[in-house]
Amino acid sequence: MTKVVLPEVGETFISARGLTQKTPMRTTYQNVDLDIKRGSLASIVAEDRRGKTELLLTLAGHMRHTSGKLSVAGLELPKNEAAVRRIAGMGFFEEVNEVQPLLSLRAVTSAELNLKGKASGSKATLEYLETWGFADRAKVKTETLDKYDRVCFGIALGLVGDPALLVVDDIEGDLTLAQGKEIMDRLRRVAHEQGVTVVVACTDYALGKVADVAIPISDAARGQMAAAGEVVMNA
């Protein structure tokens, strides 16, 4: 088993050069450069179906790029993808890691705590739910949550195992810009206070720019940044 030695907070955690993923059907993302520091909040900005989800899954060791270079916590990928998966948490990923809709929040959280080797009894589960403001709804089914709460609950589950890296897919959907910014603020606190490197996908630069660093991976996103007078990465 590969030993993972995490860089210090503020040092480079994710580095990529020319990262590209192609399938027989399409190019999902192309020539992406990344420099993301440990303990920071980064946003990957692009419109729908421009490779944001695939890129996040690649960073977490769940998909492979076809060319370019990528390292996470000093580990070269895909060679060390199993080690990267051990230190990566999956936050909200609609249609990728959706929870069982008929189970209660308490049941889902208890199962996740147990899976990660944490205390998973009723008291420990309620205490964890309380940290995310869900203790009073512990008995409700996950299907009753609105989009905002589904995103927050997904993030909470992704953090159960105390990951060094947390990836969160498109958080916008039916949310208002204000709600999206609230979630980004919560993710920033996780990054800055716990030293977790958080990478989130955004379709709108107005939300993506709330992060410590916004990284466009499509022409439209680069255009949004340029129009706002920002220095454009991956130009």
Domains of the chain by residue range: 12-102+141-227
* 31 contact partners, CB below 8 Å, separation of at least 6: 18, 19, 20, 68, 234
pTM for the model: 0.92
**Contact call for residues 181 and 188 (beta carbons, < 8 A):** no
Confidence of residue 171 (pLDDT cuts 50, 70, 90): confident
**Which value, in Å, is the radius of gyration of the alpha carbons in the chain?**
17
Topology adopted by domain 12-102+141-227: Rossmann fold (3.40.50)
Angle (CA) 38 42 45, round 5°: 155
- The sign of the torsion formed by the CA atoms of 76, 77, 81, 84 equals positive
Q: What percent of the chain has pLDDT over 70?
A: 94
Tens of pLDDT, residue by residue over 16-52, are 999 999 988 889 999 999 999 999 999 999 887 788 9
Left (φ > 0), alpha (ψ -120 to 50) or beta: where does 26 sit?
beta
